[in-house]
Amino acid sequence: MRLDLLSNVLLLGSTLVSALDLATAKAKGIIPRSLQSHDKIRQHPRDVEHRTSYIWNGGEVSGPRFSSVTAEVVIPNITFPYGYNSTAYYSSSVWVGIGGDQNTCDDPERVYNGGLIQGGYYYLYDKEGDFGVFAFYEWFPNPPIFLDDTQGILTDIGDHVRMTVTQKDNTTGTFTWENFTQNKRFEIDLTAPANGTLCTNHAEWIIESFMTPQNPEYYFPDFGQLTFHKVKAVSEEGRAASLADGIIIAAEPKLGSGKQLTSCENVDSETTTCKWLGYMGIFD
């Protein structure tokens, strides 16, 4: 999902979606697409830039044109520290991608009319009984494609996975999903949809929240701590970006409140760790 600067966020209303309906929900605008109003920047040790976002948590690098980004995750379990609300959704997505950040994009033609190639997995727990982890890929503005639905590829808590996306000429790319625990590998060639040409001067590894003031019933599930291992973003010239010069992003659903969903840090040259901070009172 793109990280937009638009202020008008679509309302969820009373429509509920199941795991395999998420693609339909996004296509119909049920899950919000317009997500970031502004960002704040502060400097931390090693000159790592910190930003707040409406929904993104994780890391980003910018500067050259990126041809690929990859990261590994051991999928952490989900808990419910505030008790389980059977009328709510607990949902987030974990992915790597190229493009999609209007704050970083340096191509005027793509800032408001660009795409995002991404892939990883969704957490989804809802009152219809959809509990689990679902691998996906997406070239926004097209909706996500789920591997359990289209390929029969299942994903479980505790699996060690690697997510990789590549792009060429801003309009073609690949997504590769590797599950080392289950010894499964999937790769697909992708082509940009209409209005999906990439702005390629940034690449990211993200835990995405759908919890906004307009969608408070979409809770950000407690994953405890999630670590992106072996993060590597490579430029079109073949150079690997340095995380020390990157950006750390934390979601602040009520922008300006100072209440953030995660605390993330780059712990070494190829590792970003994010800790879940909680959402109780996040909109107060």
How far is the C-alpha of 33 from the C-alpha of 255, rounded, in Å? 16
Alpha helices in 203-259 (DSSP H): none
Contact status, residue 220 vs residue 279, Cβ threshold 8 Å = yes
Angle of CA points 252, 277, 156, to nearest 5°: 105
Query: Which amino acid is residue 4, in one-letter code?
Result: D
- Provide the 8-state DSSP code for 246: S
Is 208 among the catalytic positions? yes
Contact status, residue 268 vs residue 69, Cβ threshold 8 Å = no
CB atoms within 10 A of CB 163: 25
Contact status, residue 243 vs residue 46, Cβ threshold 8 Å = no
Contact status, residue 29 vs residue 142, Cβ threshold 8 Å = no
Strands 131-140 and 116-125: antiparallel
Q: Which residue has the tokens 């979606």?
A: 17
How far is the C-alpha of 194 from the C-alpha of 142, rounded, in Å? 9
Contact status, residue 225 vs residue 79, Cβ threshold 8 Å = no
Which of 60, 208, 217, 252 does the annotation list as catalytic? 208
Task: Return the active site residues.
Answer: 208
